[in-house]
């Protein structure tokens, strides 16, 4: 990781930023990966922070927006790897704020989109710790756009559904109604589902989606390592295997995937042979 080199905001922008007093926590969205997609408010918060607690999905280059003397704390979670519990993370945020520090909790994408930001906010409220939420660009929108896939198009869909594939145990969530999802939403965007890609495709096909429906996997979205596999729902898992895709990755199913060649994809596309 490169050493922090904070970027100063223009005075007019800095003047418009909300105050960040000592003893406060900001839950900040870091966007899908590209540092250029960080909001001005996020950049401001990082430049003011005394302590930053960041996730595994945060691009290291985003941390360069922080001060050189900032305290950096990695609190990321990875499937199958030892990681801090949610209650422990919240307790550390509260403790840091109580010492009079300005605390940033930096989360990939948007804190309130499958990021457990709401749980942390509830914990801060219970502890009486003042906080602010600074939204970020979620990968399910920004990441797909970078791959040439719009989540909506007037001629294709009037609805889109965002799904997190796994539950707290890490397995496929039993609370998902695959029949309703398959029938009710023309475009499905699945977060954190790459390990379960075969099960997800199988569930959707069994629920009535066509094996020939356009589908794609977008990995490392918006970064120089971005990888896009565009194929069909029935061949989705095989296509990801051939391409050697590794998480973090999004899955998208629906007619908007077919627009990618027209809109100009930002990364190479692999279409497995029949």
pLDDT, one tens digit per residue, over 19-47 is: 999 999 999 999 999 999 999 999 999 99
Q: Above 60 in pLDDT, residue 6?
A: no
Measured at the CA of 40, the angle between CA 38 and CA 45, to 5 degrees, comes to: 90
pTM across the whole model: 0.90
Per-residue confidence band for 77, with pLDDT thresholds at 50, 70 and 90: confident
Return d(Cα 30, Cα 25) in angstroms, integer. Answer: 15
Residue 4 DSSP class: P
pLDDT at 266 over 60: no
Is the pLDDT higher at 166 or at 239? 239
- The phi and psi torsions of 186 (rounded to 5 degrees) equal -70, -25
Distance CA 65, CA 44 (A): 8
* Judgement on whether residues 54 and 156 belong to the same structural domain of the protein: no
Res 1: pLDDT: 45
Q: What residues make up the domain containing 165?
A: 139-270
Q: How far is CA 119 from the centre of its chain?
A: 16
Please tell me whether residues 120 and 184 are part of one structural domain.
no
Closest listed residue to residue 104, CA positions, set 44, 179, 39, 180: 44
Give the model's pLDDT for residue 273.
38
In angstroms, the CA 227 to CA 111 distance is: 24
Lowest mean pLDDT among 6-15, 147-156, 224-233: 6-15
* pLDDT reading at 5 higher than 60: no
Residue 63 DSSP code: G
User: Is the confidence at residue 80, as pLDDT, over 80?
Assistant: no
Rg value, the chain, Cα: 20
pLDDT digits (tens, 9 = 90+) for 118-131: 999 999 999 999 99
Which of 89, 113, 134 finishes a domain?
A: 134
pLDDT of residue 165: 83
Please tell me the least confidently modeled range out of 96-100, 142-146, 168-172, 180-184: 168-172
Looking at the structure, tell me whether residues 252 and 266 fall in a common domain: yes
97, 112, 134 — which closes off a domain? 134
> Per the domain annotation, does 6 fall within a domain?
no
Place of tokens 């909790």: 105
- Total domains in the chain come to 2
Name the pLDDT band for 81 (thresholds 50, 70, 90).
Answer: low
Q: What is the mean pLDDT of the chain?
A: 91
Q: Show which of 112, 134, 156 is a domain's final residue.
A: 134
3-state secondary structure of 222: coil
Nearest-angstrom CA–CA distance, 80 and 169? 11
Q: What's the burial of 274, exposed, middle or buried (CB within 10 Å: 0-12/13-18/19+)? A: exposed
Does 70 share its domain with 130? yes
Residues 150 and 262 placed together within one structural domain of the fold:
yes
- Give kind and range of the element (H or E) at residue 26: strand 25-29
The answer to whether residues 54 and 114 belong to one domain is: yes
Write out the two tokens for 74. Answer: 């990695």
Q: Is residue 184 part of a domain?
A: yes
72: enclosing H helix or E strand: strand 71-74
- What does DSSP assign to residue 135? -
- Looking up tokens 């099960």, which residue turns up? 199
- Res 71 pLDDT > 80: yes
pLDDT at 163: 96
- Evaluate whether residue 173 is within a structural domain: yes
At 82, is the pLDDT very low, low, confident or very high (cuts 50, 70, 90)?
low
pLDDT score, position 78: 63
Question: Do 152 and 87 share a structural domain?
Answer: no
Please check the confidence at residue 135 and state whether its pLDDT lies above 90. Answer: yes
| Catalytic residue positions, numbered | 55, 77, 192
Same domain, 122 and 158: no
109 and 162, same structural domain? no
Q: What is the pLDDT of residue 164?
A: 93
Q: What local confidence, expressed as pLDDT, does residue 110 receive? A: 98
The whole-angstrom distance between residue 34's C-alpha and the CA centroid of its chain comes to 12
The answer to whether 220 and 228 are in contact (CB under 8 A) is: no
Quote the DSSP letter at residue 19: P
Q: Average pLDDT in the 252-266 region?
A: 85
Residue 166 confidence (pLDDT): 78
For 183-213, how does the pLDDT look when each residue is reduced to its tens digit (9 = 90+)? 999 999 999 999 999 999 999 999 999 999 9
Task: Give 264's pLDDT tier (boundaries 50, 70, 90).
Answer: low
């Amino acid at each position: 990781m490169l050493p922090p080199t904070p970027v100063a905001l223009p005075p007019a922008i800095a003047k418009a930023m909300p105050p960040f007093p000592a003893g406060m926590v900001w839950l900040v969205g870091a966007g899908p990966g590209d540092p250029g997609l960080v909001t001005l408010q996020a950049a401001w918060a990082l430049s003011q922070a005394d302590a930053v607690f960041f996730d595994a999905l945060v691009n290291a280059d985003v941390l360069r927006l922080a001060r050189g003397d900032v305290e950096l704390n990695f609190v990321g979670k990875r499937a199958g790897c030892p990681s801090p519990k949610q209650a422990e993370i919240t307790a550390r945020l509260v403790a840091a704020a109580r010492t009079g520090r300005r605390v940033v909790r930096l989360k990939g994408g948007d804190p309130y989109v499958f990021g457990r930001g709401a749980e942390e906010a509830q914990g801060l409220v219970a502890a009486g710790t003042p906080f602010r939420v600074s939204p970020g660009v979620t990968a399910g929108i920004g990441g797909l756009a970078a791959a040439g896939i719009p989540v909506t198009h007037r001629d294709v869909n009037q609805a889109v559904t965002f799904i997190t594939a796994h539950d707290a145990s890490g397995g496929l969530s039993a609370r998902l109604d695959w029949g309703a999802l398959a029938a009710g939403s023309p475009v499905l965007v699945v977060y954190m589902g790459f390990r379960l890609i075969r099960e997800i495709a199988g569930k959707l096909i069994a629920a009535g989606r066509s094996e020939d429906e356009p589908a794609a996997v977008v990995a490392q979205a918006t970064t120089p390592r971005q990888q896009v596999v565009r194929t069909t729902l029935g061949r989705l898992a095989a296509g990801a295997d051939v391409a050697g895709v590794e998480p973090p990755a999004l899955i998208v199913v629906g007619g908007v995937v077919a627009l990618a060649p027209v809109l100009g994809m930002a990364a190479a596309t692999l279409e497995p042979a029949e």
